[in-house]
Amino acid sequence: MDLTPKRADESATEMVQVVLPNDANPLGFILGGTVMHLIDIAGAIACHRHTRSLLVTAAVDGLEFLNPIRVGDLIILRSRVTCTFTTSLEVEVEVFSEETLTGSRQLTSRAYLTFVAIDRDGCKHRIAPLLIDTDEDRRRSEEAHTRRAARLSRRNQSPRSPAPR
């Protein structure tokens, strides 16, 4: 397994597709679940590019729907790895809408997802570290560590459901 450090730019991914009526609610706006599905895919692609391994989604943090996306608009998803841990990594996914006739763009959503690298037997494995070259990369990584600490704290405080009988 290659554990050579990689830069965030090596994982950067952009997906673009047109929003069709099939993707929308009766008001003509894309369904939130469709956006979440695309966010998961864009995030996974960036993480695959970093780890070159199988992955599972472990958490979604900070998903916000800031502006609607209309039928006929383009939906643009940009993702990049923000931080790596031992067997997991975080990716930021930004979602934009683009009016097809004017080219006008606006940020519509942002989310941070954590993926865990696994082998074919479902066992976690180590991943390559992320090279931190810039102040912006350092800031993103520090913010990811803060989100992770909060998520782990919440998980440790939440009651565990009893095992099935």
Distance CA 125, CA 148 (A): 18
Please tell me the distance from the alpha carbon of residue 144 to that of residue 35, in angstroms, as a whole number: 22
Q: What is the pLDDT of residue 156?
A: 87
- C-alpha distances (whole Å) from 111 to each of 27, 49, 119, 158 are 24, 18, 26, 22
Radius of gyration of the chain (CA): 17
Selection from 105, 110, 127, 107 nearest residue 118 by Cα: 127
pLDDT tens by residue, the chain, 165 residues: 789 999 999 999 999 999 999 999 999 999 999 999 999 999 999 999 999 999 999 999 989 899 999 999 999 999 999 999 999 999 999 999 999 999 999 999 999 999 999 999 999 999 999 999 999 999 999 999 999 999 988 888 877 756 555
Helix, strand, coil in percent for the chain, rounding step 5: 30, 40, 30
Q: Give the CA distances from residue 153 to residues 52, 87, 130, 158, 160, in Å, rounded to whole numbers and listed in that order.
A: 29, 18, 24, 9, 14
pTM over 0.75: yes
Backbone angles phi, psi at 53, to 5 degrees: -145, 175
Where do the domains of the chain lie, and which CATH numbers do they carry? 6-157 (3.10.129.10)
Residue 158 confidence (pLDDT): 75
What's the pLDDT score for residue 42? 98
Alpha helices of the chain — where are they, by DSSP H? 32-51, 135-157
- Check residue 62 and give its pLDDT: 85
